[in-house]
Amino acid sequence: MNHHNPSSAAKAPAPSVSHPIDSDASGTTGAAPATLFGDLRDRFAFLKGFLGSPNGVASMVPSSHWLEQRVVRAAGLAQARCVIELGPGTGGTTRALLRAMPAQGRLLAIELNPGFHEHVRKVVRDPRLHVELGSAEDIGAFLAARRLPAADAVISGIPFSTMPFEVGDRIAQAVAQHLAPGGRFVAYQWAAAVAERTTPYLGAPHVQFEALNIPPMRVYTWTKAAA
């Protein structure tokens, strides 16, 4: 889970170079679960990110395994061709998404925090993954740059409650615009701000609650109406 730095209401420009992740001895191959060392490394990186931007990172610790699995089930990724993750943080949920996706699927992870972006690039090694540095407002530009279709699922851990209203509204609008008919938007949040921003574009969400996380999280799921 992660962040969208509220101090930068002006969106970051979309980068001209993206980063497909290939298997490498320095990281996790094929999105395998993190080792004990890797888990400690992720936690340290997450805490560092929180201390650097407490309003932009929603927690001091990464998402729990229970929250990751609830998000994966809500997203329904078994047949997904294109999945977008907004705010991959240190990559725990990213790994869980990749394990649930088909071999031909593609995951586009968009991260605003440069430290988290570099961490995910280094530690999550999977040829289906493309990690981009920039704003969630630029979903369309990133999809176009990678020649990816509309998303079958968008998963978000960025805290809508701490970003300016207009930024959250633009992100919600971009998600709705670039979600395929029948696609799902899954957002895990402790506050209801994401529902306030997204409901005008995708209707009322289905809401679940995951207590086994710090902090406990609501999991909101929207399904875009079929064309």
Burial of 149 (0-12, 13-18, 19+ CB in 10 A): exposed
CATH code, domain with 78: 3.40.50.150
- Listed in sequence order, the residues at least 6 apart from 40 whose beta carbon sits closer than 8 Å to its beta carbon are none
**CA–CA dist 109, 60 (Å, integer):** 21
Residue range 7-22: average pLDDT? 42
For residues 161 and 16, the model is more confident at 161
- Give the domain range for residue 81: 37-223
Evaluate whether residue 126 is within a structural domain.
yes
Instruction: Tell me the whole-structure pTM to 2 decimals.
Output: 0.78
CB atoms within 10 A of CB 183: 25
Evaluate whether residue 152 is within a structural domain.
yes
**pLDDT tens profile 100-159:** 999 999 999 999 999 999 999 999 999 999 999 999 999 999 999 999 999 999 999 999
Buried/exposed 20-29: b ≥16 CB within 10 Å, e otherwise: ebeeeeebbe
Evaluate whether residue 21 is within a structural domain.
no
CA angle 120, 202, 79 (to 5 degrees): 55
